[in-house]
Amino acid sequence: MDESELQALKRRTSIVIVIILALFGILVVRLWFLQILRGSQYLKMSENNRIRLQWLPAPRGNILDRNGRPLIVNRPYFNVTWNKEDAPDPELIIRKMAAILKVNVSEILKRIREAADYPRHLPILLKEDIDWPTLVYIENHQYELPGVHIETLPSRKYNFGNLASHLVGYLGRINEKELKKFGDSYLPSDQIGKMGIERIYEKLLRGEKGRRYVEVDVHGFEQREIMEQAPLPGKDLKLTIDIALQQTAERALRGKAGAVVMMEVNSGKLLVLASSPPLKLQEFIGGISTKNWKAMLNDPLKPFINKTIQGQYPPGSTYKIVTALAGLSEGAITPDTIFYCTGSMLLYGRRYHCWKRSGHGAVNLKKALRESCDIYFYHVGLKVGVNNLAKYALSLGLGRKTGINMPNEKPGLVPTKSWKRRRYKQEWQEGETMSVAIGQGFNLVTPLQVCEMTATLANGGTRYRPQFVESVIDADGKVVKPFRPVIDGHALGSKHSLALIRAGLVAAVNEKHGTGSVARMKSILVGGKTGTAQVVRLAQYRHLPAKDIPYKYRDHAWFTCFAPADKPQIAITVLVEHGRHGGSEAAPIAKALLEQYFNGKTAEHPTDK
C-alpha cells in the first residue's frame, strides 16, 4: 500500500516537472520580449532616466575702449548656499553662518522658510555677493560647515562706474518674450543684454554655453561626468570710444541734461558719445528694484533717454550751415553777397528780429556765420525756399537716421512744403521758411546728426556713418572683425562752398565778435558754430533776463565744431538742455575736449597716431 502510494506520488512528479518547465518557459519568453524585442526602447528610457544636461556658462566678452582699456569686464559674484540635508546639526550651522555672514539668525531662518517650497535637495541661498574675506573664511572652514557651498555666478563689473552708460547698456534677466524669440540657447535664469551694446552685440559678447552631461541618481545627485563640451567665451568688443575723453565730457555734463558727441571726421569713429544724466548701471545688477526704476523714470532730467540719438531739438543757429550751403550751391548768394541787418526785417507786415536788436549792419557770408546774423539767413532762406533748404539738410545727414548701430534712434525732422501739407493740411508760409533758415522752425535734430553734419562739412562733403566699434576680438586676442568705415552719402554742393562755410566757422571762433570765441585754442585752429534752440515761443518769457526764465522754458544751448581747421580730424557737438546760450554753456565743454585731444593726447597716448 505504501509502495503504491509512493509510486503514485512519483508519477505526479513528472507532471510537476512539466509545470515548472512551462512556467519558467513563460519567463524566458517574457525576457525575450523585454530584452530583445523592446530592448532598444527600454535602453533609451534608461538613458533618459539617468543623463542630465548641465549648461556651463560662457564668460561674456569684455568691452574695451579704443586704447584697449577695459571699460566693462566680468567679475565672479559669490553666493553662499546651504544644503540642509547634508548638515547633521542644522541649528549649529545656522548660528555659525549668521556670525560669518554678519547677519541675524532670524534673517537666515527667513530664507530657509522662503525656500520651504523647493525640493529638499536644492540648496538654500543664504547670502548674495559676499566679499572676498568672507569667501576665503568659508572656503577654509568647509569641514566645519557641512552643506555650505559657494556658488559662483558671472556678473558685470563697471570699471568706470556709469561711464558711457547709454552706449554700453546693461544686462537683465531674460523675459518671456525674449525667451520665445531666442528659443533654445537661453535658460529662464539667464541674463541677456537689455540695452546698448550689451543688447546690440549680445550674440558676440555672449559666446556659447558649454554642455556637461552627467549621470545622476534618482535624487538628481551627480554621480559622474559623461561628456563635457567646454564653453566658447564671448568676444571682446574694442570700442572707438576714448575713456579719458568720455570721462571729460560726462564730468562736464554732470548735473545737467545734455549730450556730447565727438567723432573722427574721416572715418565716422565716435570718440565720445555721452548722454546726461547717466544710467546708474550698478542698480541693474541682479535686477533693478521698482523703487530705483521709478526714481529714474520720474527724474526730470530723463536719464532713460539717450539724448545723443533720441533727443530731438531745434537745431538753432547750427542750422545756418545748411542755409549757407543751400544759398551758395543754389546760386542765391556768393561769399560777397551783402545783406543789411538793422536788427529786424518786415515780411508781409510781420516783423522778424535778429538776435542782435541793434543790428549787424552790412553782412557778408563770413560775417554772417561769425556773428550768426539772423537777418542774413532770413534773406538766404527766402531766396532758396524751404524745399531747397531741406534738400541740403538731408544731404548733410539731417532728417534721417544716421544709421548708427543702436535701436530707437530718432530721425529728427526736416520740414518741406509737402510735409506741412501732409502733417497740418495747410499751405507753407514764407515766414516759416525764415524760421527754418535759422533753425527755429519745425526742424528737429539730434546731437549725433549735428555732429555728423559738422564732420561732413569738415572733411569736404563725405558723410561717414557714425560707428562705435573699433574691432571684435576673440578670446585668443585675434581681431575677427576690423573696423570698416561706411560712407552713407555726400553733401550736395561744391567743396569750395564747404570751404567757405568752414572759413566762416573758423572766424566765429577766432575773430573778434565771433560767437564761439570760448572754444578758441592757442595751438590749433578751431571752427565752430553756436546755437540757441528756442523751447517756447511764448512772448511772456522772451523778454525776461535769462536767469528768471523757469528752467524748463529756457533755451537749449548748442555748440558744434571741428579742428584743426586746415586739416580737420575731429568734430565735436555739445548740447546742453536749457543751457540758454551755446557760446557760454556748450562751447566750454567742447573746448575741454579739444584741449585734451590735441594737447593731452601726445602725452597720454604716445603710440596713438
Partner 1 sequence: MFQFDRRLILNFDWILLLTVLAVIGMGLVNLYSATTNGYTSSHIFIKQIYFYIIGLGLVVTIISVDYRVLLSWNYVFYGVIILLLIMAKFFGNSAGGAQRWINLGFFKLQPSEPAKLAMVICLASYYYRKDTGKGFSLRELIAPGLLAGIPFILIVKQPDLGTALMIAMIAISMTLFVKLRWSTLVIIIMACMIIAPLGWKFALKPYQQQRIETFLHPEGDPLTTGYHIMQSKIAVGSGRAFGKGFLKGSQAHLDFLPEHHTDFAFSVWAEEFGFAGSVFFLACYTFMLLLGLNIALSARDKFGVLLAFGIVALIFWQAFINLAMILGLLPVVGMPLPLFSYGGSSLLTNMAGICILFNIRMRRFMVKTT
Q: Sheet harboring 51-56: ordered strands across?
A: 51-56, 210-216, 222-229
What residue type is 184 in one-letter code? Answer: D
- Count of H helices and E strands in the chain? 22, 23
Nearer to partner 1, 6 or 122 (CB): 6
CB of 485 to partner 1, least distance (A): 59
| Cβ atoms of residues 310 and 442 within 8 Å | no
Residues forming a β-bridge with 553:
none
| Cβ atoms of residues 188 and 174 within 8 Å | yes
CB atoms within 10 A of CB 23: 9
| Cβ atoms of residues 559 and 582 within 8 Å | yes
Residues forming a β-bridge with 469:
239
For the record, the C-alpha cell of 248 comes out as: 571729460
| Cβ atoms of residues 74 and 191 within 8 Å | no
Nearer to partner 1, 34 or 499 (CB): 34
Nearer to partner 1, 10 or 609 (CB): 10
CB of 53 to partner 1, least distance (A): 16
217 three-class SS = coil
For the record, the C-alpha cell of 518 comes out as: 570760448
Nearer to partner 1, 221 or 340 (CB): 221
| Cβ atoms of residues 275 and 261 within 8 Å | no
Nearer to partner 1, 15 or 539 (CB): 15
| Cβ atoms of residues 559 and 589 within 8 Å | yes
CB of 11 to partner 1, least distance (A): 10
CB of 42 to partner 1, least distance (A): 3
Diameter of the chain measured on Cα atoms: 154
CB of 9 to partner 1, least distance (A): 5
Kindly list the residues in this chain that would bind partner 1 in the complex (CB under 8 A): 1-6, 8-10, 12-13, 16-17, 20-21, 23-24, 26-28, 30-32, 34-36, 38-43, 45-47, 49-50, 215-219, 223
CB of 200 to partner 1, least distance (A): 45
- Helix axes of 320-329 and 447-459: crossing angle, nearest 10 degrees: 40
For the record, the C-alpha cell of 66 comes out as: 579704443
Name the catalytic one among 317, 329, 372, 395. 317
Instruction: Characterize the bridge pairing of strands 63-64 and 236-239.
Output: parallel
Residues forming a β-bridge with 479:
473
Question: Positive or negative, the Cα torsion across 258, 412, 264, 534?
Answer: negative
Find the Cα–Cα–Cα–Cα dihedral 252, 254, 256, 260, rounded to 10°.
50
CB of 214 to partner 1, least distance (A): 11
CB of 54 to partner 1, least distance (A): 16
Nearer to partner 1, 85 or 144 (CB): 85
- Helix axes of 386-395 and 374-384: crossing angle, nearest 10 degrees: 100
For the record, the C-alpha cell of 275 comes out as: 548722454
Give residue for cell 545622476.
216
CA angle, residues 80, 84, 89, in degrees to nearest 5:
110
Nearer to partner 1, 36 or 539 (CB): 36
Nearer to partner 1, 14 or 607 (CB): 14
Q: Alpha carbon of 479 to those of 324, 510, 533: distances in Å? A: 43, 43, 43
358 assigned to active site = no
CB of 2 to partner 1, least distance (A): 6
| All residues at 6 or more sequence positions from 443 whose CB lies less than 8 Å from its CB, including other chains | 314, 315, 319, 393, 398, 399, 412, 413, 414, 415, 436
- Catalytic residue numbers read 317
